[in-house]
Structure 1
């Protein structure tokens, strides 16, 4: 069973799985937030009012029938009126999440909308974001205000003034992916403002990038997996799930690949939420062609070029953790000359311009003395020999970025000096 493969589950099961995930990741409180699903019969399944979100059970979920009849042992969420109003306004929306995640609440109380043009992926997933003026929680007035924002068919997320956020989706997985992405985008912008000034992508840049995948599809599906490849597939899946748990990846972003032999490699798919990826979803690329019926990451061409140009690299991770991305979107130098471990693992990390994605120069920027780099408004790229080494570098990088951001309001950074760097290099790298 996939970790969050909710589409084929009963609405009660879907809601419990997602509300527990939201609660565990600190994006709602015991009493805050609510989720609903509208099924094919027109019935609405919704979380109950005033029941502990951390211990919610399937039998606690309420069904409000199409005729208004309530089935269940609790009252529906007090915010049910705006769920109902959104479903009436938008027939394409089949699931709704409302919560008070800290970063988005921060935007709601300063009455601003996060600019999702901070990365192309965030802009694509979140779409247009509406803004709902304040109204009494649980009131019919609030429902009408929110529904009015959703009348725009391109809007699937809104910031609620001094309240939080509400998002819709074609199903609960779609809504959760948008919710998680928007909160992480808001968190990244907040982190960036601690150290500098965020920059945002222009419409032209967003349109330019498009898909980076130009790998051919192999029409021969007669591929057998060796025991070594099966191990590598499982290793990738374990690292992806671990990255999600460590808040280094979320549903919508994170690409991992591992070299097999020569320039053949395995890579994560693009059309499956990272929480859900399993071994059978991993895509092999042999002789420049992917497996039949599988859609590799849109960055597959970039990974292939990195392997071709760098024989010493056997694994790659590309992702957008919220502290590292603060350096990516501000252009502020990510100075890893802070603690010995950081510099030994990462050495100096270049900040590359966004256009390096278009001019195909990223592979030549990576070498043995530069195992990782930041691409402006795009991602952190880290490489290594073994995948666990690459993942370790990713963790060290994000922890270091977090420490630097936390240090910024205290005082000026005092890095390790040049002689200390030379001593580290002589002992650990030469």
Structure 2
């Protein structure tokens, strides 16, 4: 099963997560810090002024409960506010502080991102606190941040500085951090092409309520070699999606048809970064693998496979530039370059709520297109081979990115209808 982070040494947890944050461009070589408090009350923390791009477990500092410092470096200069948070919130066992670009953008205009921009973020991030500016590394800053955490917040925007987040463990803190930065990016990118639209609390509650039904469990499960091979393919694509910013810890579903209408699908409530073969859920004859919770979108995948025999793999995810179109109701015109249109054709969108089981839009499950945007929720990509489907996702995200970035230069000039017809005749006839 996925990593049991409680059985991983704090120094290994920290180096793994700080590397992930750095590689995803959410902190700099010198910026950001992470800590974990263990059951003894000792705090393990990243060192001061050590390259975050090459941090090793031996670099992590331990500050004992009595204040003794163990390690070959100085603890992070921001250690005071880590310590202050743990003192006021015994439920918090890990803290992440960093300067991710989108959240810093909010901090310097002194705003808090509205997490109702996507369906799951409200519950993952919770309400967001706000800490007024104080000198970095000072006890005063620690006091102000601790006061915000004392109010019950687990995520706090730091004025003209960045953000700090806590969690029940480091995986929980990172999921909150990554989700909040994703919300901020989606709002920023969406603002370049239109006006972001936000979900109401009642819409989010309705989404949560309609996801409670579970498939019955199968009595026994077999894992022949072709099934195991598909599990491996899914895990590789999920990992690749996370590394490339096409998926985040808290959201992303990948499935592959196995035999007939039976398929394999990613689980719910498992960090996408750490997913492994044993986490994947087999769906056979309308039943789920014993003891596992498949993605809450399982029924959508099930219906697509039933109604579209040519579809053998599906990816549902939230990638920031595609979601910029999904949250602004802007039309994503992929007639940007020939390759984009050849792979994707035109990308329709459906309203938020059309993906609920009670009122599914036929565009999602019956009239299945290569790519579809579900407003304020996700993008759905279908294809034959899983690698091909992933390629479609990349092409769609790159096309969306080009349009968002180009918006500051002027209006996009797409290839015209005659040029599209030429492409249709040559590549799709």
1:120 alignment counterpart: 119
CA positional deviation for 1:370: 2.2
Q: Which residues of structure 1 form unaligned runs of 5+? A: none
Cα distance per residue 1:3-37 (max 9 Å; x no partner):
x7643211111111111111121111121111111
1:212 alignment counterpart: 211
C-alpha distance in structure 1 between counterparts of 2:201 and 2:82, whole Å? 32
1:70 alignment counterpart: 69
Contact 2:308 2:368 in 1 (8 A): no
1:280 alignment counterpart: 278
Contact 1:314 1:384 in 2 (8 A): yes
CA positional deviation for 1:345: 0.8
Contact 1:213 1:300 in 2 (8 A): no
1:291 alignment counterpart: 289
SS class of match (2:187): helix
Contact 1:338 1:414 in 2 (8 A): yes
C-alpha distance in structure 2 between counterparts of 1:213 and 1:279, whole Å? 25
Q: 1:365 to 1:283 in 2, by over 3 A?
A: closer
C-alpha distance in structure 2 between counterparts of 1:39 and 1:137, whole Å? 25
SS class of match (2:6): coil
1:37 alignment counterpart: 36
1:417 alignment counterpart: 416
Farther-moved stretch of structure 1 (130-139 vs 307-316): 307-316
2:227 alignment counterpart: 229
Cα distance per residue 1:349-368 (max 9 Å; x no partner):
11210020224434544567
SS class of match (2:44): strand
Cα distance per residue 1:97-125 (max 9 Å; x no partner):
00111111111000000110001112221
SS class of match (2:120): helix
TM-score with structure 2 length normalisation?
A: 0.96
C-alpha distance in structure 1 between counterparts of 2:134 and 2:200, whole Å? 34
C-alpha distance in structure 2 between counterparts of 1:225 and 1:33, whole Å? 43
SS class of match (1:68): coil
C-alpha distance in structure 1 between counterparts of 2:361 and 2:287, whole Å? 21
Q: 1:365 to 1:34 in 2, by over 3 A?
A: closer
C-alpha distance in structure 2 between counterparts of 1:395 and 1:80, whole Å? 39
CA positional deviation for 1:385: 1.4
CA positional deviation for 1:340: 0.9
SS class of match (2:62): strand
1:389 and 2:385 matched: no
CA positional deviation for 1:369: 7.3
Q: 1:144 to 1:76 in 2, by over 3 A?
A: same
Contact 1:29 1:53 in 2 (8 A): yes
Contact 1:372 1:382 in 2 (8 A): yes
2:262 alignment counterpart: 264
CA positional deviation for 1:89: 0.9
Contact 2:95 2:165 in 1 (8 A): yes
Q: Which residues of structure 2 form unaligned runs of 5+? A: none
C-alpha distance in structure 2 between counterparts of 1:365 and 1:57, whole Å? 46
C-alpha distance in structure 2 between counterparts of 1:98 and 1:57, whole Å? 18
- Of 248, 251, 257, 1:250 maps to 248
Farther-moved stretch of structure 1 (364-373 vs 299-308): 364-373
1:24 alignment counterpart: 23
Moved over 6 A (4+): none
SS class of match (1:35): strand
Q: 1:61 to 1:344 in 2, by over 3 A?
A: same
Alignment length, in residue pairs? 427
2:307 alignment counterpart: 309
Farther-moved stretch of structure 1 (332-341 vs 303-312): 303-312
CA positional deviation for 1:404: 0.6
CA RMSD of aligned residues (A): 1.6
C-alpha distance in structure 1 between counterparts of 2:74 and 2:362, whole Å? 57
1:106 alignment counterpart: 105
1:93 alignment counterpart: 92
SS class of match (1:217): coil
C-alpha distance in structure 1 between counterparts of 2:57 and 2:383, whole Å? 44
1:399 and 2:398 matched: yes
Cα distance per residue 1:379-415 (max 9 Å; x no partner):
0001011111211110100000001111110011101
SS class of match (1:373): strand
CA positional deviation for 1:51: 1.7
C-alpha distance in structure 2 between counterparts of 1:369 and 1:202, whole Å? 28
